Amino acid sequence: AQTVTQSQPEMSVQEAETVTLSCTYDTSESDYYLFWYKQPPSRQMILVIRQEAYKQQNATENRFSVNFQKAAKSFSLKISDSQLGDAAMYFCAYRWLGTGNQFYFGTGTSLTVIP
Amino acid sequence: DTGVSQDPRHKITKRGQNVTFRCDPISEHNRLYWYRQTLGQGPEFLTYFQNEAQLEKSRLLSDRFSAERPKGSFSTLEIQRTEQGDSAMYLCASSPEVGREGGDTQYFGPGTRLTVL
């Protein structure tokens, strides 16, 4: 069974600093996608970044980057130059290419940005 | 592209009543998903449609829950005889077909928050 674990329920970062959110997952499959979604308070989930498991190069989207360690089944999110608008719940998600289509989500990390 | 929309945004009901939620996916997306999210948890998969066909259902989807997507566009999720344990955020997401740009990603709506008294 696929499981996604986010071991940090809460994190905080000073504005303009860098923070890393952790995610590990369990799967026996080799072809899958990993995602980080952001859910601001009372607002909808927004895709932050995605990574294809077959790509060794870590994905990057502006201030957001990932450290994908396939052998370790680890997928951390680094936010550089943190901004107040980055404050939100962050969810790590896994999707196997071979199954119907569902995503498996972690329990989330609540990120606070301190001015 | 107006995004995924859901209606209502909030619903308060008494235990035992039936409720129905609606989801309108992004117009060109043929795949639609329902998730349930309780406080402090990530979304949990409920069901999946490809066009009008319901292809997957989670074990979480008890016989009190039913979902439809009759014309392959909007979808409804109905909960019969609601229980307090049904209180949650119900999220809808959509995706374009496999192989198209964005086909591996799900785009979420704002959710419907259900409170069962």
Q: Quote the pLDDT of residue A58.
A: 94
Which residues lie below 8 Å from residue B66, measured CB to CB, with a gap of 6+?
A: B77, B78, B80
- A94 contact B CB<8A: no
Q: What is the pLDDT of residues A28-51, one digit of tens each?
A: 888 899 999 999 987 889 999 999
Give me the mean pLDDT over the B83-99 stretch: 91
- Interface residues from chain B to A (CB-CB < 8 Å): 3-4, 31, 33, 40-45, 48, 55-56, 58, 91, 95, 104-111
Using CA atoms, how far apart are residues A86 and A112, in angstroms rounded to an integer?
8
Which residues lie below 8 Å from residue A45, measured CB to CB, with a gap of 6+?
A: A37, A38, A39, A91, B43, B91, B108
Q: Spell out which residues of chain A touch residue B109, defining contact as CB-CB under 8 Å.
A: 44
In B, minimum Cα distance to A102 occurs at B45
Cβ-defined contact of B40 to A45 (cutoff 8 Å):
no
Q: What is the mean pLDDT of chain B?
A: 92
Q: Quote the pLDDT of residue A96.
A: 82
Q: Quote the pLDDT of residue B117.
A: 95
pLDDT band at residue A97 using 50, 70 and 90 as cut-offs = confident
Residue B99 has pLDDT above 80, yes or no: no
Give me the mean pLDDT over the B63-75 stretch: 93
Q: What is the mean pLDDT of chain A?
A: 92
Q: Quote the pLDDT of residue A100.
A: 61
Using CA atoms, how far apart are residues A12 and A67, in angstroms rounded to an integer?
19
Q: Quote the pLDDT of residue A1.
A: 62
Which residues lie below 8 Å from residue A111, measured CB to CB, with a gap of 6+?
A: A10, A11, A12, A13, A19, A21, A79, A86, A87, A88, A89, A90
Residue B1 has pLDDT above 70, yes or no: no
Cβ-defined contact of A102 to B95 (cutoff 8 Å):
no
B94 or A56: whose pLDDT is higher?
Answer: B94
